[in-house]
Amino acid sequence: MIRAKNPVAFNKRDLITKNRMDSNDTDIFGLSPPMLALLIIIVLLILWGSYTWYYGGVTVPLPSYAIGFTGSQEGFLGGRIKFKETFGGVAHGAGTPSCLRTSSEGARLVDLFSNKTSRFQEGPDTLNELTILVGKLSCFKKDLVSPSFIVEATRKQPYTTTHDVEPIGETTGRCFSKTLSPRELSISLDKWNSRGEDLVKKLCTAYALNSKEVESAQQLFRAFMRDITDIARGACLQGDPMIAGKPGPRDAHPYEKPEAIEHGTYTGYY
């Protein structure tokens, strides 16, 4: 005897198969429409975040102790610290004098005596002093032309009473804060220049240079000092303060008596 098949079971089985076929027709990559929409939103958020990270504009500035002072080229760019790369060379350890690559005239001046033999015992000591002076002023120039406005190259330069009115790192800081008066800057420049001229004359005698070499040495030093003087006057006496913002009423300011302006050039000893 053959049993008749249950029509209800056939109807349920056909309904399940049809529903599966309908769902396969509407799903994409095996995802339902709500899950697919959620995935698209997540992908768009990731793309937007990546664009903001790499190409966004300046958003949050770093504090001054992390990036330097006003005018620094560093900043917080879209979540990344952005530094402006420069190629000024290191201040110390790359040769003598210090900041060797900052001034070609200074380097050539020292090199003029380096390969010669002194006739007097004081020659090497005089050359060493000239090397310190040239390196000190080269580092002074390096700090003044740096876009970071940080006292870095002159920070470890030695203080010498025969060269300096004050440590040259202090002079650099006062240039950036615009608290250095024109008279104070002139006194410092005059002292550097006069001491350098004396050292060059002594070295020309100690190393027995001929007249052409003596003239070359003097021209190199004078060109070197003109460069330093022009940069110092432009950086120290013009423009707005680059350290600690604009000075307030209780901050240090350069002061010069009005009657001192009418006086002539001081020709005595410092």
Domain residues for the domain of 155 are 104-245
- 216 and 114 within one domain: yes
The string of DSSP letters for 8-73 reads HHHHHHHHHHHHHHHHHHH-BTTB-HHHHHHHHHHHHHHHHHHHHHHH--B-SPPPHHHH-STT-S
Look at residue 116 in the predicted model and tell me its pLDDT. Answer: 86
Q: In which band, very low, low, confident or very high, does the pLDDT at 54 lie, cut at 50, 70 and 90?
A: low
pLDDT higher for 64 or 31?
Answer: 31
Q: Across residues 248-261, what is the average pLDDT?
A: 67
- 108 and 147 within one domain: yes
pLDDT higher for 85 or 113?
Answer: 113
Q: Across residues 12-20, what is the average pLDDT?
A: 53
In this predicted structure, the answer to whether residue 23 has a pLDDT above a threshold of 70 is no
The token pair at 121 is 């015992």
- 127 and 218 within one domain: yes
pLDDT higher for 66 or 33?
Answer: 33
Measured CA to CA, the distance from residue 69 to residue 89 in angstroms comes to 21
Look at residue 80 in the predicted model and tell me its pLDDT. Answer: 39
Residue 94 lies inside a defined structural domain of this protein: no
- 189 and 65 within one domain: no
Contact 102, 138 (CB under 8 A): yes
Domain count, the chain: 2
Tell me the pLDDT of the chain averaged across its residues.
75
- 228 and 132 within one domain: yes
Residue 140 lies inside a defined structural domain of this protein: yes
pLDDT higher for 21 or 227?
Answer: 227
Residue 95 lies inside a defined structural domain of this protein: no
- 196 and 71 within one domain: no
In this predicted structure, the answer to whether residue 94 has a pLDDT above a threshold of 70 is no
- 234 and 111 within one domain: yes
Look at residue 228 in the predicted model and tell me its pLDDT. Answer: 93
Look at residue 47 in the predicted model and tell me its pLDDT. Answer: 87
- 222 and 193 within one domain: yes
Look at residue 57 in the predicted model and tell me its pLDDT. Answer: 47
Look at residue 190 in the predicted model and tell me its pLDDT. Answer: 95
Which of 56-65, 76-85, 95-104 is predicted most confidently? 95-104
pLDDT higher for 142 or 82?
Answer: 142
Beta-bridged to residue 75, according to DSSP, are 82
